[in-house]
Amino acid sequence: MSTRSLSKGCFVFKPSPKKRKVSRTTAYYFREGSSDLEDSELRFATCQSLQKQVKSETEQIEEELNEQLFDNLVSFLRRSHSAFQEKKTEWTCRTKSREIPTAALVLGVNVTDHDFTFRSLSEVLQNNVTPYIALLEAKDCPGIKNLMQKLLGQLMNCCIDVDSSEEEDYEHVSRSRVRCSMTTLINWYESATKRTDSETPGKKRTSSRHWQSPPVVVIFKDMESFTTKVLQDFVVISSQHIGEFPLVLIFGIATSPMIIHSLLPHSVSSLLCIELFQSLSCKDHLSTIIDKILLTTQFPLKLSEKVLQVLINIFLYHDFSVQNFIKGFQLCIVEHFHSNPLSVLCCQLEEAKRRVNSLSHNQCENVRRLPSFRRYVESQVSEKQIALLTVDSSLKEAVQKLLEDLNVYHENYFPILRCLHVFTSSLPKYPLGKQIRELHCACLENRVWETEEYESSLQLARMLNKSDLVTMLQKCVEILVSSPGREFDEIVEKLKEFLTQFQKLEEAYQERDESISPQKELQKKTNLYHLQKTLLELKESRRSKKLTKFEMLRFEVVDYIDSLVRHYLVPADHKTLHEIVYFNTASVLREHLNAAPRIALHTALNNPYSYLKSEALKSDGGSISNKAPDICIAYKLHLECGRLINLADWLEAFSTVVTAAEGPTADAASSDQVDDVIHARFIRAVSELELLGFIKPSKQKTDHVARLTWGGC
């Protein structure tokens, strides 16, 4: 069946039912498209499990991060609710106060992450506070009527969730019929609460979860995009009824809290009793994610420096979206397992060792082809080399050992990285970066101790004062003690020794201070001359003085840290078999996540040779060959024009070029025919350019088109 039709633009294809059963699984496509068939099932399974793991982990992290915020919100709801409860009893209060308790939730510009926050927020509220929650989005509510409709719909539906299912039909009917007004809302609320009240003995579980006469929470997901009028109307109307049922508003704000006042006039905003809540900034959010997901040994897949840089750049320069960052990471996982046959070994160590044993011969060859493994082989003695290159079993043994090494390397790498970060993050001007991710990138890129930045940070570290140094050492000890690495006992011992030395120094100083102080008091009565003399002496002594004990110790500490760095923070691509666990094709990632369609178009039009590998198109210098595709020639010509293009001139120029290109073959007799063909080709090229958005028809002058792009060329 064709999809080309003059009367229809949409075509549905349904396979016959018996055919449909043979629907292919995702694993099938994984296998099909994979570059190498080896172990594809196993790889796919590993990939899936890893993805799932990452997903649950990130979700958990996000929940933890939001916990504080949600706690605050819940306590706010409780406070406002108790106020309502009190008011209920006092008639006077009830009539006077019309303020709606409102929580302004400042979430930051990363709009794409908000969805998740709101979802978990409503979950939390649903579980702990109230069943009556409505989530409103601006795009659903162009008018107050739609807003009320949506609100009632959501509230009544959630009521159904609590209720038994047999009433559903009744509710459904009433919903569509009901006139959406505040009164219906109130009536519904009263009946709903009454019903739950009366049913309380029967349904202990549900009622204990929620508070008595639970508040109705209305969440405006994207406050900024609501039209002012809708918001105003809603606030004014509901403030009229605030005494009759407990309403709480939550505004999701992406920009700044000032937006409330610019959206709502004073008369309206005075009806709100606003409390401000600030969510965690997306930057902190990202650091936590990176910290918990990338800087651990928990997940076998690691990102190389370039890949990480791409992901971070997309985050920092494009969207600030943590969700997108995670998406990028997920894509890395898929790409890695999809493109690399050896990724089958990218799993936890024990499992990987087991898998090594069952590697096929082809896979062994794949291992031998790895550049890092070749380097390793070259460094071995010749007999060993032969064994590694020819005997599969000895290769497997070696691979097991190397994998173990790699694992140990990672186990040591991260704690030491954190220790180094403790030092560098407190230095002035942060030569190695403020965030641990920057440090991580620097370490992955090349030997960090060879960089200038590292040098200067060591210099700075040698000037730290004692209290800072002590706290840093303590932090390092904490980090190392809590990490699972096996080799750290020694280091911890050493660090503790430093700490005690500092302690001793302190005591010594104190003693000295006590001994000096009486002298000073004696000197107080000397004259100016004496004072000058003593000062000079002091100065002299300071200059000549060798390093104090403290300074010696400080040097020692810094040198020790330096030695640790040199030993443990070797860049990963110096490690054998790093290709198995590191994903490093950053270009793929950038192509798919951060594509540049305009540049692709530009390149194709300007330099068709980069796509069509034909010798005829090869052109040196700046210009394109006149044998280029029609559209390229038309594009080139149109670049020479201003805002308007005369089609007649354009056609003339086009045919000049094209006839020249075809020159020898065209004979004069059929020139009329040729002209028509060229004319047709020109029309095609021009309409293609129109489709691409370079030109549009213009009515300013006959036979002219307007150019839509600037400059170029």
Q: Which stretch binds another protein (CB under 8 A): 192-200, 262-270, 419-427, 614-622?
A: 614-622
Tokens matching residue 282: 């997306």
Tokens matching residue 425: 């993050």
Q: How far apart are CA 532 and CA 549, in angstroms?
A: 27
Contact call for residues 419 and 482 (beta carbons, < 8 A): no
Indicate the residue type of 518: P
Q: How far apart are CA 222 and CA 16, in angstroms?
A: 44
Q: How far apart are CA 644 and CA 697, in angstroms?
A: 10
Q: Which stretch binds another protein (CB under 8 A): 439-447, 502-510, 524-532, 609-617?
A: 609-617
Q: How far is the CB of 664 from another protein (least distance, A)?
A: 6
Q: Which residue's structure tokens are 């291992």?
A: 367
Which is closer to another protein, CB of 534 or CB of 671? 671
Which is closer to another protein, CB of 346 or CB of 705? 705
Phi, psi at 280, each rounded to 5°? -65, 140
Q: Which stretch binds another protein (CB under 8 A): 245-253, 422-430, 507-515, 601-609?
A: 601-609
Which is closer to another protein, CB of 67 or CB of 640? 640
Q: Which stretch binds another protein (CB under 8 A): 78-86, 240-248, 262-270, 633-641?
A: 633-641
Q: Which stretch binds another protein (CB under 8 A): 345-353, 400-408, 525-533, 670-678?
A: 670-678
The vertex-52 CA angle with 47 and 53, nearest 5°, equals: 95
Which is closer to another protein, CB of 210 or CB of 636? 636
Name the strands in the sheet holding 644-646, side by side, starting at the edge strand that comes first in the sequence: 644-646, 704-707, 695-697
For another protein, the binding residue among 83, 609, 669, 670 (CB under 8 A) is 609
DSSP result, 138-167: GGG-SSHHHHHHHHHHHHHHHHHHHS-GGG
Which is closer to another protein, CB of 369 or CB of 643? 643
Pick out residues in 413-452 that bind another protein (CB under 8 A). Answer: none
Pick out residues in 681-700 that bind another protein (CB under 8 A). Answer: 681, 683-684, 686-688, 690-694, 697, 700
3: exposed, middle or buried (Cβ count in 10 Å: 0-12, 13-18, 19+): exposed
Which is closer to another protein, CB of 72 or CB of 603? 603
Closest CA to 490 of 480, 499, 500: 480
For another protein, the binding residue among 520, 541, 613, 669 (CB under 8 A) is 613
3 state DSSP class of 62: helix
The number of residues that bind another protein (CB under 8 A) is 133
Tokens matching residue 12: 């549905």
Pick out residues in 47-86 that bind another protein (CB under 8 A). Answer: 51
Q: How far is the CB of 461 from another protein (least distance, A)?
A: 32
Q: Which stretch binds another protein (CB under 8 A): 243-251, 371-379, 542-550, 634-642?
A: 634-642
Which is closer to another protein, CB of 83 or CB of 588? 588
For another protein, the binding residue among 321, 457, 483, 584 (CB under 8 A) is 321
For another protein, the binding residue among 105, 600, 669, 670 (CB under 8 A) is 600
Radius of gyration of the chain (CA): 36
Q: Give the x-and-dash track for 560-589 against another protein (CB under 8 A).
A: ---------------------------x--
Q: How far is the CB of 42 from another protein (least distance, A)?
A: 16
**Is residue 336 within the footprint of another protein (CB under 8 A)?**
no
Q: Give the x-and-dash track for 81-120 against another protein (CB under 8 A).
A: -----------------------------xxx--------
Q: Which long-range contacts (CB under 8 A, 24 or more apart) does 237-240 make?
A: 237/144, 237/182, 238/100, 238/182, 239/98, 239/99, 239/100, 239/271, 240/98, 240/182
Which is closer to another protein, CB of 48 or CB of 425? 48
**Is residue 128 within the footprint of another protein (CB under 8 A)?**
no
Pick out residues in 337-396 that bind another protein (CB under 8 A). Answer: 338
Measure the CA dihedral 100/92/148/198, to 10°: 110
Instruction: Output the CA–CA distances (angstroms, integers) from residue 74 to 66, 125, 154, 572, 670, in the order listed.
Output: 12, 7, 21, 46, 85
Q: For residues 538-576, b (16+ Cβ closer than 10 Å) or e, as one string?
A: eeeeeeeeeeeebeebbeebbeebeebbeebbbbbbebb
Q: Which stretch binds another protein (CB under 8 A): 265-273, 378-386, 436-444, 612-620?
A: 612-620
Q: How far is the CB of 304 from another protein (least distance, A)?
A: 15
Tokens matching residue 241: 């009824």
For another protein, the binding residue among 82, 255, 614, 670 (CB under 8 A) is 614
Q: How far is the CB of 331 from another protein (least distance, A)?
A: 7
The vertex-491 CA angle with 489 and 492, nearest 5°, equals: 65
3 state DSSP class of 212: coil
**Is residue 642 within the footprint of another protein (CB under 8 A)?**
yes
Which is closer to another protein, CB of 461 or CB of 624? 624
At 656, which helix (H) or strand (E)? helix 647-662
Q: How far is the CB of 23 from another protein (least distance, A)?
A: 6
Which is closer to another protein, CB of 478 or CB of 649? 649
Pick out residues in 476-515 that bind another protein (CB under 8 A). Answer: none
Pick out residues in 136-195 that bind another protein (CB under 8 A). Answer: 139-140
